[in-house]
Structure 1
């Protein structure tokens, strides 16, 4: 199963030319503003990450995500690592995945021997499903499943000896969506991405929230020193910067509103998205994708939805003006 992701700038350069500095990459769901980094002591780079540093980062994550006391939190080198492991926690059966969504969930469960059942909503999940995956808010359309429905589904799956995976990679900008405060049972595995909201995807850091038993299984599969010391130090710092985070989140909201304004001005139909990207519909989306590429602007296209494009945020007004001009030219 070949999966296309955003951020494939090297391939875009090979096709459309230009140096890296010429390109405006709007193909990912990563905050274009990187959170300010703390000073990191030399010994954090020089030593293996110790238990004190790990404990400090996990405690900060617990507070930031509002994790219930009875739940366990583990750190991983990105949520992608957890996505690879989770399907191996139970014996294979049928897994329902609310679709379309982030395709790595499908790939990981299929690779582990599960029969994957794409479902359009929770109501269409069959009684035969032993597990389910919900990306909330969803990538790429931004669909949000209410917390009560999430928890009710987890209980139904638990009655069948199964579990629910909830991927909250894009929930940081809208923390009211999260069910972290009500997690803690074996029936619910919650995945959190650090890099997307904080604009530090290169750090490769994610978290899982579940029961102590599930967390222990995940930790054993990840092995010792799964997360680097610098990543843990940066997370512990960022999670506790309350007032700074308020401003960071506010700037993100301004950029997102600016993106929607561009679509309104250019007559582009916006049909969904999250705080970090928009999903648009265009009858010639792949033609529009190539037009943007020739302008050295990279956006995300979808093989399974040829009339969709996903467009992320620019970091500054110059980037937004460049995007608006390219869309205006394309729609003339």
Structure 2
């Protein structure tokens, strides 16, 4: 397997690697490899001093208040803002004593990599019933990436309570929950034994801003904040994140739009004869016997999707944006599958 192939498999968004292998320039490509809203809202104005001064505590406090309200977290929840949810995922394992970590898999690979880097014993389990009794921390992505699996909040809360009873922790990554808020545990944030990761950039289509949150207990939030250090979030990210999170109407409009487009994508893929594995509001995953060949054929049309080394018969499609992108995907699939 080439280095370029490794990059494409490990994460979506490896467009430069795809161009290096299949040619073209960025403007030629339709990148459907990430679960990111392709139609971001207009950016709010950013105060000039957000670029020239170190971030002030008051600005971070306002961002945290906006996140608390947007996510429906109570006053018991301690919220840590970081430069993207990935930074919080990477730093959390260093805030916990080395122990056995159970990760419900397959899922976002960076959780396992981060815990292993911090010296934890990582065990990948499936299904959740296979949880070993000596696991100190359990990681669940809900809704799950890449298969769209959903787990009822009541079941996760019950698990968190059991783990808390023996000093353990349930980590729930809710990176894809914003457009499906009824699956979120944010209202229970602050209870012992629970930490919730939230991503800002996916649903708002602003992944390059690098902003994310961890909702948990005061004690664990303090350790995580100390690990991140001062000024973890840039001034422009504080300003943009606050303005957008304070806009409840925008959040509802995006939720309706994304869910409608995910249903449209699911229908398009089914019509093309592809078997659906699952969906969230930001992507649809299909099963195909020759998924990687389909991925490469689409790359030949300069359409980038997301294959998986752990499930070689899966392929994930993010949402197209403009009308011409929907037409381009439909036409490419019709041509490839008719020839295939």
Contact 1:272 1:279 in 2 (8 A): yes
Query: Residue 280 of structure 2: which of 232, 256, 274 is its match?
Result: 274
- Structure 1 residue 269, shift from structure 2 partner: 0.9
Partner Cα separation in structure 1 for residue 149 and residue 92 of structure 2: 23
- Structure 1 residue 186, shift from structure 2 partner: 3.7
2:313 maps to what in 1?
307
Cα deviations across residues 193-223 of structure 1 (Å, max 9, x unaligned)? 0000110000000001001111111110000
2:15 maps to what in 1?
9
- Structure 1 residue 240, shift from structure 2 partner: 1.5
1:204 maps to what in 2?
210
Higher mean displacement: 21-30 or 41-50: 41-50
Secondary structure of the 2:102 match is: strand
Partner Cα separation in structure 2 for residue 40 and residue 112 of structure 1: 37
- Structure 1 residue 273, shift from structure 2 partner: 2.0
- Structure 1 residue 149, shift from structure 2 partner: 1.2
1:27 maps to what in 2?
33
2:264 maps to what in 1?
258
Partner Cα separation in structure 2 for residue 153 and residue 244 of structure 1: 33
- Structure 1 residue 57, shift from structure 2 partner: 0.6
Partner Cα separation in structure 2 for residue 248 and residue 166 of structure 1: 23
Mapped pair 1:85 → 2:62: no
1:115 maps to what in 2?
121
2:135 maps to what in 1?
129
Partner Cα separation in structure 2 for residue 180 and residue 257 of structure 1: 25
1:171 maps to what in 2?
177
Unaligned runs of 5+ in 2: 1-5
TM-score by length of 1: 0.97
- Structure 1 residue 256, shift from structure 2 partner: 1.3
Query: Residue 49 of structure 2: which of 43, 46, 49 is its match?
Result: 43
Cα deviations across residues 74-97 of structure 1 (Å, max 9, x unaligned)? 100011111111112222121110
CA RMSD in angstroms, aligned pairs only = 1.3
- Structure 1 residue 43, shift from structure 2 partner: 1.0
Secondary structure of the 1:331 match is: helix
Contact 2:179 2:254 in 1 (8 A): no
Partner Cα separation in structure 2 for residue 253 and residue 299 of structure 1: 19
